[in-house]
Structure 1
Amino acid sequence: MNDNPDTLTVLAVDDEPPALDELAYLLRRRDEIVSVHTAGDATTALRLLRDGGIDAVFLDINMPGLDGLELAGILRNFAQPPSVVFVTAHDDRAVAAFDLGAVDYLLKPLREERLAEAVRRIAERRRAGADNTPAPAASDEVIPVELGGVTTLVPRSSVRWVEADGDYARLHTATGSHLVRIPISTLESRWADAGFLRVHRSFLVALPLVTGIRSVGSGLVVCLRPEGDQQVVELPVSRRHTRELKDRLIRGPMQTWTSR
């Protein structure tokens, strides 16, 4: 890696020459990037990466032989692994990508403003490493959401509750909702340490926002603190989740999970 945290040497990897040429062209337009290497397959990419000097890899996922996710898994074992940004036409591999520590996840066709955001994230992580301080975005996972050809990054900290929708999940925030191709069971496991709790087979809630529970008919609902012009949100609590919810609330969620 180069020693200047304000400049980047990057590697673009894609098995489709037109896509690789476009990615390299867009990367070379960024002032922060001083050098762009290219590779048409993971084997070539790995050889370049083992030679050192690469700060970040912009990596396609679907490639013959070793695919992008497998290559990223190998890079995690490097003494100084480069930052990884996935560039793909598929929006259903984001969970696996972020499990591998990806800095960002870009959907094709690439938009310059999203590429600029990914470069900014890499630069922040580089500067944070140089200062021996944690990267600003490291504690808050982001979920890429595609709507009408536009990719929006939804921070986990903005999610108030999650609603199951078949094999999908709907993320509810103060400004709207976003459908993502991630099962609610996956988010339940991933976000447990961030203060999210399953209260019903269809609902996962952010415990720091819970203001209480109350009886409605023969069942219970959990109440979430309103934000902005929103009304108080009430979601059903199933019998099998009631005890854990009460135990977690008694332990003081506001003190325990304030850094969602």
Structure 2
Amino acid sequence: MKVLLVDDEQPARAELRWALARVEPDLHVGEAANAAEALRELRSGGYDAVFLDVRMPGLSGLQLAELLAELPQRPLVVFVTAYAEHAVRAFELEAADYLVKPVDEARVARTVARMHRLLAEARPTGRAARRLWVELDNENLKPLDLAGVAWFEAREKKVYAHAPGGPYRVDQTLKQLEEWLPPAFVRVHKSAIVNLEHVAEVVPWFSGTYRIRLKDGATVRMSRRHAAGFWKAGGGR
């Protein structure tokens, strides 16, 4: 499991890191001193959970938790604070748990156990992805509705989402996208994932390969290696 500690006070991060290490020595732990640093870390993906301090300069932990709900792969959120009065709002934000400083090792152990259980429960069906954060030309970010994405393409070591107004640059690799995208998105080539809802027809090509024609007129290659998975996902052949 990979977790991110977000607290503007380094001693508080060190205390929590120590408690986590005592509970689960193999835990991968990252750190951020504020919301901006946390978002930069989380945009790269791969974090299962975030331990958030409620009161921080700039965006508070509660405000950051609201932003995290829009991430393509939303991590579990555990609030860590000296102010117990925020507990109600924390659970309104669907927090996995709420720890009161100074943290207690036994209490942290229960939190980690709860996180493992929640992640295990989510894993069989996957989390319901609905939006993806994409980059605009001015480097600002915008949420993109996945229903409008026809396909994802990897080229020149970058990944793009093809949707109206795009293509849009995304931070995730195709492998990372495969792990959380809804079942309608299927890998068809080492450099492409298509949305089955946008497929118009499939045309046989050479040596067991195919060309997928999308409703917007785009054509995507399907390799022989990925053809079986495509037919299985699409219910064909």
TM-score normalised by L of structure 1: 0.47
Could you tell me how far 1:13 is from its partner in structure 2?
0.9
The answer to whether the aligner puts 1:25 opposite 2:31 as a matched pair is: no
Deviation by residue 1:231-259 (Cα, 9 ceiling, x = unmatched): xxxxxxxxxxxxxxxxxxxxxxxxxxxxx
Deviation by residue 1:197-219 (Cα, 9 ceiling, x = unmatched): xxxxxxxxxxxxxxxxxxxxxxx
For residue 59 of structure 2, give the secondary structure of its aligned residue in structure 1.
Answer: coil
CA root-mean-square deviation: 1.7
Counterpart of 1:63 (choices 47, 56, 59) is 56
CA distance in 1, matches of 2:100, 2:62: 15
Determine if contact 2:5/2:29 at 8 Å carries over to the other structure: yes
Determine if contact 1:10/1:33 at 8 Å carries over to the other structure: no
Counterpart of 2:99 (choices 94, 103, 106) is 106
Query: Which stretches in structure 1 are left out of the alignment for 5+ residues?
Result: 1-7, 135-260
Determine if contact 1:86/1:106 at 8 Å carries over to the other structure: yes
Counterpart of 2:84 (choices 85, 88, 91) is 91
Determine if contact 2:8/2:34 at 8 Å carries over to the other structure: yes
Counterpart of 1:41 (choices 34, 50, 54) is 34
In the alignment of these two chains, the number of paired residues is 127
For residue 122 of structure 2, give the secondary structure of its aligned residue in structure 1.
Answer: helix
Deviation by residue 1:87-124 (Cα, 9 ceiling, x = unmatched): 00001011110011100000011001111111111100
Once the two structures are aligned, what percentage of the paired residues are identical?
48
Runs of 4+ in structure 1 deviating by more than 6 angstroms, as ranges, are none
More relative contact order, 1 or 2 (CA 8 Å, 6+ apart): 2
Determine if contact 2:23/2:108 at 8 Å carries over to the other structure: no
Determine if contact 1:11/1:57 at 8 Å carries over to the other structure: yes
TM-score normalised by L of structure 2: 0.51
Counterpart of 1:76 (choices 69, 72, 75) is 69
Could you tell me how far 1:133 is from its partner in structure 2?
9.2
Deviation by residue 1:13-37 (Cα, 9 ceiling, x = unmatched): 1111111111112122232753100
For residue 92 of structure 1, give the secondary structure of its aligned residue in structure 2.
Answer: helix
Matched residue, 2:108: 115
For residue 85 of structure 1, give the secondary structure of its aligned residue in structure 2.
Answer: strand
For residue 27 of structure 2, give the secondary structure of its aligned residue in structure 1.
Answer: strand
Determine if contact 2:20/2:27 at 8 Å carries over to the other structure: no
**One-letter identity of the residue aligned with 1:83:** L
